[in-house]
Amino acid sequence: MKLSCSSWSFHRTFEQGKINQLEWIEKCAKDLMLDGIELLDEHFRSTEKAYLRDLNKFTTDLGLTIACVSVSNNFRKSQSSCFHNIGRRSTQNLKGSWL
In a domain, residue 88? The reply is no
Q: Above 80 in pLDDT, residue 35?
A: yes
Number of domains in the chain: 1
| DSSP classification of residue 29 | I
In a domain, 31, yes or no: yes
Residue 95 lies in a domain: no
Domain assignment of residue 92, yes or no: no
Q: By the 8 A CB rule, do 36 and 64 touch? A: yes
pLDDT band at 71 (very low <50, low <70, confident <90, very high): confident
Under the banding of pLDDT at 50, 70 and 90, the label for residue 85 is low
pLDDT at position 87, please?
Answer: 58
pLDDT of residue 94 exceeding 70, the answer is no
Contact 60, 53 (CB under 8 A): no
56 band by pLDDT with thresholds 50, 70 and 90:
very high
In a domain, 93, yes or no: no
Query: Is residue 78's pLDDT more than 60?
Result: no
- Say if residue 82's pLDDT is above 90: no
Asked whether residue 85 is assigned to any structural domain, the reply reads no
Query: Whole domain around residue 68: which residue ranges?
Result: 4-74
Q: How far apart are alpha carbons 18 and 12 in whole angstroms?
A: 9
Find the mean pLDDT for residues 4-30.
97
Q: Which residues of 35-71 are buried (b: 16+ CB within 10 A; e: fewer)?
A: ebbebbbebbeeeeeeeeeebeeebeeeebeebeeee
